[in-house]
Structure 1
Amino acid sequence: MTPSGDGGGVHNNPTTHGDHSIAANDIKNVIIRWVMHPSARWLPLLLACAALVIAGSKQPGGPAGQYTLWFVLAGLSLVTAAARVLLRRPRDIRVVGALSLISVLATVGGWLAFQNIQAHGEIDVTGEVRTEGKQPLDDGANDTLTLRLDASALKEPRNALRLTLAIDDHDPAGPTCLADTTATVSLLTSGVAAQEEKIRPGGTVDFSLGARVNTVRIHLKLHTARGCRMDVQATAAVLHDK
């Protein structure tokens, strides 16, 4: 803005607005040239594939449902990136820009969703559960066993363990004892408050682990009818955050 020579009036100086307009046009032209460059059309696809490979090598397992958002965003990033590659001579620069932008944003969003799964998602540790004790269990002196999870299964910190136990007749051909059978399951882990639940065959218990623990020890006591002999097995063990 400059003062006028006839009394100090103030007028707008168009030069400032002109400079801003020129700079904006220059930036726009640079972006357009970069987006339309033959090598640039491969970048979104390479970024999407790299994110997919890295995520696939680090996925923590667990139920497929927790990966839904990541699957959707990863698929969207790959589809739009592939469309950008196949669109060799686009008639409208806006189509190219939209495909590239959607692919990059979907890749970033999918990566953030995967990071959340890594930090808080469910982890299947069923194969890591060790059983200590002689089986089959009965209604006499041999009615207890211990289930353990060692440090290797607990390397990813979670604050709860959901455990499902199968309790079956040792002799499938004989009379079933399932209706008369229950089990008392107790969490006995150093640094964690003792917790106890009673479950039936095929039942599930959810224990709070609190802060990170190095081992988990669970004591099981079987309650069954006289003369019954039962086998106990962990059919599902999932670490998760409550």
Structure 2
Amino acid sequence: MSRPAGRGDVHHSTTSHGDHSIAAHDIRNIFIKWVMHPSARWLPLLLACAAVVIAGTDWPDGPARQYTLWGLLTGLSVVTAAARVLDRSPRDARLAGVLSLVSVLATVGGWLAFQSVRTHGEIDVTGQVRAVGSQPLDDAAHRTLTLRLDARALAEPRNALRLTLAIADHDPAGPTCLPDTRATLSLLTAGTADRTADLRPGGTVDFALGARTTTVTIGVRLHTGRGCRMDVRTTGAVLHDR
């Protein structure tokens, strides 16, 4: 037969609850002792500095604006870690714990932001665009130019290319042909146009690239007035993820 619940059962439940309270109190004391240990105050700063050094040795290319979040979090981690080092009050365990926790979390967040830029950030490959063909271009025999990016420029995989071209009069002293000039850009796959876009002088086009692209070939066809001779050069080429 089952024994009815008695006062002993109630006492056992209270004891179990008390055991949990004692364990939580012990963990809290251990955490405070670790936080207030003289050597522990240096750990957040060492972690923050290590993350900065590692990021500096593996710094990707691209505009500075994409590192804003990384910079803010890294600055926060270093400042709070330095404040933790300077805080030598033996009774201020709560402040020391908050500073250490904020510094470590900011370091981790900054590192994740940096890895996101490395994986998906913009890469400036302007200097690696190779032009094939003779210039200046005109409205008759010499209308086309080919722009190429090789495997070295595409070592970091991205799925889009943002391209900016400058088109200028070959003879700056003569009458300008810019108002009547435009270019048709074609992303070539196996020698045929896959995607095309029209571009005015100084304009920008954005081409979607296929997966695991190893080379990019873009055909440029100039449309200009009769007798006009134009120079075309790449002023911006950025690989990025859409």
CA contact 1:74–1:106 (8 Å) conserved in 2 = yes
- Post-superposition offset of 1:189: 2.9
Distance 1:71 1:223 in 2: 45
Distance 2:210 2:108 in 1: 32
1:72 aligns with 2:81: no
The alignment partner of 1:152 has SS state of coil
1:104 matched to which residue of 2? 104
Structure 1 residues 164-202: Cα deviation after superposition (integer angstroms, max 9, x where no partner):
000111222222111111111000034997001111100
The more displaced of 63-72 and 157-166 is: 63-72
TM-score between both structures, scaled by the size of structure 1: 0.92
CA contact 2:181–2:224 (8 Å) conserved in 1 = yes
* RMSD, matched Cα: 2.0
- Post-superposition offset of 1:53: 1.8
TM-score between both structures, scaled by the size of structure 2: 0.92
The more displaced of 140-149 and 169-178 is: 169-178
CA contact 1:189–1:218 (8 Å) conserved in 2 = no
- Post-superposition offset of 1:91: 4.0
Distance 1:148 1:236 in 2: 13
Alignment of 1:116-155 (within 5 A): 116-155=116-155
2:113 matched to which residue of 1? 113
Count of aligned residue pairs for this structure pair: 238
1:235 matched to which residue of 2? 235
Partner amino acid, structure 1, of 2:10? H
Alignment identity in percent? 71
- Post-superposition offset of 1:83: 0.7
1:12 matched to which residue of 2? 11
The alignment partner of 1:230 has SS state of strand
CA contact 1:48–1:103 (8 Å) conserved in 2 = yes
Partner amino acid, structure 1, of 2:60? P
The more displaced of 212-221 and 167-176 is: 167-176
Gaps of 5+ in 2: none
Distance 2:5 2:31 in 1: 43
With over 3 angstroms needed to count, the CA separation of the structure-2 counterparts of 1:8 and 1:26, relative to structure 1, is closer
Partner amino acid, structure 2, of 1:17? H
Distance 1:192 1:41 in 2: 63
Structure 1 residues 188-236: Cα deviation after superposition (integer angstroms, max 9, x where no partner):
0349970011111001111110212110000001111122211111111
With over 3 angstroms needed to count, the CA separation of the structure-2 counterparts of 1:159 and 1:25, relative to structure 1, is same
CA contact 1:70–1:114 (8 Å) conserved in 2 = yes
The alignment partner of 1:231 has SS state of strand
Partner amino acid, structure 2, of 1:109? G
- Post-superposition offset of 1:136: 1.3
CA contact 2:186–2:193 (8 Å) conserved in 1 = no
Distance 2:82 2:185 in 1: 53
Alignment of 1:69-218 (within 5 A): 69-89=69-89, 91-190=91-190, 194-218=194-218
- Post-superposition offset of 1:108: 0.6
Distance 2:44 2:230 in 1: 57
Distance 1:137 1:105 in 2: 56
Partner amino acid, structure 1, of 2:131? T
- Post-superposition offset of 1:119: 1.6
Distance 1:240 1:61 in 2: 11
1:56 matched to which residue of 2? 56
The alignment partner of 1:232 has SS state of strand
The more displaced of 223-232 and 16-25 is: 16-25
1:220 matched to which residue of 2? 220
